Amino acid sequence: MSRKSENTFREFHRYLGFFLAGIMAVYAISGIVLTYRNTDFLKKEFQVTKNIASGLTADNLGSALNMRFFKVDKTEGEIIYFGNGTYNSLTGEVNYIEKRQPWLIEKMNKLHKMHQGNPLFWLGVFFGVALLFFSVSAFFMFRPSAPIFKKGLYFAVAGFLLTIVLILV
């Protein structure tokens, strides 16, 4: 590989890295926070009072409230009690406590978990392609005969094997 192509890969790698530094920080922070999504880490309690359709059954209430792992504790007349609130099936009034992370963390997590239905999903695709470029371009930054390239291959093989182990666990 010529010196000119090495420098070209280094320049693309460098400037793309500077350009994507902010989004990489967002993905890193939100990835760490998402690891604790099943806990109360950074969450605060908010009282929610709203009206939804009346006459819902205990089976339909969880989906109407968009609550995963919804479970009814008991029913007394028109009042349905669930883990963190109540629902009046006559009036449709529901009161419950919701635990949420701070606004900025929620926005970062939403960006991290972006899907095709999101109007900005192309940014997620671009970021994925850019990260793929980073992982491939690293192999073109040094001559294959250079000692640092050979040492880099050892690290790449170790990282690949670790990835296989993590996938299989």
Mean pLDDT, rounded, for 146-165? 91
Q: What is the pTM assigned to this prediction?
A: 0.67
Give yes or no: residues 155 and 124 share one domain. Answer: yes
52 and 94 Cβ atoms separated by less than 8 Å: yes
Number of Cβ within a 10 Å radius of residue 19: 11
pLDDT the model gives residue 93? 94
Give yes or no: residues 52 and 94 share one domain. Answer: yes
Is 22 exposed, middle or buried, given 0-12, 13-18 or 19+ CB atoms closer than 10 A?
Answer: exposed
What is the number of structural domains in the chain? 2
Where does a domain end: 100, 115, 132?
100
pLDDT the model gives residue 135? 84
For the beta sheet containing 79-82, the strands, ordered from the edge strand earlier in sequence to the opposite edge, are 44-51, 93-100, 85-88, 79-82, 72-76
CA dist 60 → 73, 87, 99 (Å): 14, 12, 21
Alpha-carbon distance 128 to 68, whole Å? 29
Give yes or no: residues 134 and 160 share one domain. Answer: yes
pLDDT band at 80 (very low <50, low <70, confident <90, very high): very high
Give yes or no: residues 110 and 158 share one domain. Answer: yes
Q: Which amino acid is at 96?
A: Y
Give yes or no: residues 84 and 114 share one domain. Answer: no
Each residue's pLDDT tens digit, 28-76: 899 899 899 889 999 999 999 999 998 888 778 888 898 888 899 999 9
* Beta carbons within 8 Å of 36's beta carbon, 6+ residues apart: 42
Give yes or no: residues 96 and 108 share one domain. Answer: no
Give yes or no: residues 122 and 146 share one domain. Answer: yes
Where does a domain end: 78, 100, 122?
100
Q: Which domain holds residue 27?
A: 3-38+104-168
Angle at 23 between CA 152 and CA 155, to 5 degrees: 10
